[in-house]
């Protein structure tokens, strides 16, 4: 399992947003986006690179917006209304339970968006 950011995305600039995004707010950035807070329903992040949310992800997120399928989306609490990576789009199942779960990461694997438990590099 690969959990490091691919080399082609680590050279992108990174923006650090140090508060929660509320409904109606959005971030649109060509590089990587790190949020120290929550992304609430109705908020949106569009990033050319990776997205990392150090809180609850409950809004819309689009990583690799310029078509980079190596981009990932990671959150401490993963319950987005919609996930996009490059041209791939998915949403959680209806009635999903989001209790106490470990951090999760979304990435493209075999031409599908997969969401799995985050495993830090060793």
Residue 57 and residue 75 in contact, taking contact as beta carbons nearer than 8 Å: yes
Q: Is the pLDDT of residue 105 over 80?
A: yes
Nearest to residue 96, comparing CAs of 85, 76, 81?
81
The tens digit of pLDDT for each residue in 58-103 reads 999 999 999 999 999 999 999 999 999 999 999 876 655 556 788 9
Class of domain 7-93+101-117: mainly beta
């Amino acid at each position: 399992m690969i959990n490091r950011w691919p080399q082609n995305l680590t050279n992108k600039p990174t923006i650090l947003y140090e508060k929660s995004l509320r409904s109606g707010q959005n971030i649109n950035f060509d590089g990587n986006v790190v949020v120290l807070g929550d992304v609430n329903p109705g908020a949106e992040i569009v990033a050319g690179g990776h997205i990392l949310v150090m809180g609850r992800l409950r809004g819309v997120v689009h990583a690799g917006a310029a078509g980079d399928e190596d981009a990932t989306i990671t959150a401490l609490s993963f319950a987005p209304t919609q996930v996009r990576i490059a041209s791939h789009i998915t949403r959680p199942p209806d009635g999903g339970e989001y209790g106490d779960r470990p951090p999760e990461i979304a990435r493209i694997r075999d031409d599908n968006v997969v969401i799995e438990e985050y495993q830090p590099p060793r």
